[in-house]
Amino acid sequence: MKIYTKTGDKGTTALFGGTRVPKHHIRIESYGTVDELNSHIGLVRDQNIDEHYKSILLRIQDRLFTIGAILATDPNKAILKSGKERLNIPKISNEDIELLEKEMDKMNLQLPAMTHFVLPGGHQTVSFCHIARCVCRRAERLATALNESEPFQPNTLIYLNRLSDYLFVLARKLTVLHQAKEILWIPKKQ
């Protein structure tokens, strides 16, 4: 299989289902940002972190490929007139969302209570995790804009929302594990 197809040379790309759209289409921006997020999570996973977190991040990466497939599918081509699915696109399950919630709950039990916002940084691994969190928030913003005009599976948005929360909690946990200092943001008085 060749990597280059030359079909996008005029600034369009094909969705699942065959529809061609401009490469700047909100759908392409959405799944492109999810792909960017997946790369950042890979960078976090490549750091010196516990194998448990690496395995969770690997599962998250798999789910992000599913989200990419959902976002890359032309909704007009995904369902037949009979209501049956034409394309076999996986879905984000309630269990996928619950895994993130359970993992956050476990980490939060081992972390000091939050009293202020936290400044990103303190250790390179923590910073990578915060960058992934920010990219996740951007992916969520783009996906919500797309969903307003072309709705897709609701669990997709819920997952992206939980994932950004998970990445924040993971950054805090990695701060502790790397014995870095968590710097609180305390607004300066004028």
- For 150-164, how does the pLDDT look when each residue is reduced to its tens digit (9 = 90+)? 999 999 999 999 999
pLDDT at 3: 73
Residues 46-51 have a mean pLDDT of: 97
Cα 10 off chain centre by: 29
Read off the pLDDT band of 78 (50, 70, 90): low
pLDDT of 83 above 60:
no
Beta bridge partners of 21: 13
Read off the pLDDT band of 90 (50, 70, 90): confident
| CA dihedral sign, ordered 81, 83, 89, 91 | positive
Give CA–CA dist 160/165, Å, rounded: 9
Residues 172-182 have a mean pLDDT of: 93
pLDDT at 15: 66
Residues 46-73 have a mean pLDDT of: 96
Q: Which domains are assigned to the chain?
A: 13-185 (1.20.1200.10)
Residues 118-139 have a mean pLDDT of: 96
Cβ(167)–Cβ(133) under 8 Å? yes
| Helices (H), ranges, the chain | 26-45, 51-71, 75-78, 94-109, 124-149, 154-177
